[in-house]
Amino acid sequence: MGEPTRASIEDAPDAPDAPGPEGLWEELVQLLRRADLPVDDLEAEELGSFALARRDGRLVGSGALEVYGSAALVRS
């Protein structure tokens, strides 16, 4: 197995095995749905707030913080 990598949306378009932002958004939504995580309240514009993990060219993990004043919700 390859080493995991971490990237944000700013890094993804330059990565040779990563789709463009629209494809990356769909890939992220599919990953979250497979994990039975909510996606209805997310919008593609929020993609830049996610840290993404890839292994062997596949998206295998993600995480983000939604900040609300002094509190935050972890999205993963």
The rounded mean pLDDT for the chain is: 79
Separation in Å, CA 45 to CA 3, 17, 55, 73: 28, 22, 24, 17
**Alpha carbon distance 16, 39 (integer Å):** 27
More confident residue, 36 or 67: 36
How would residue 60 be classed by pLDDT, with cut points 50, 70 and 90? very high
pLDDT at position 16, please? 45
Its domain, for residue 61, covers: 5-75
Count of the separate structural domains present in the chain: 1
Q: Which of 23, 11, 17 is nearest to 52 (CA)?
A: 11
73 pLDDT higher than 60: yes
| Average pLDDT rounded to a whole number, residues 16-33 | 78
More confident residue, 61 or 2: 61
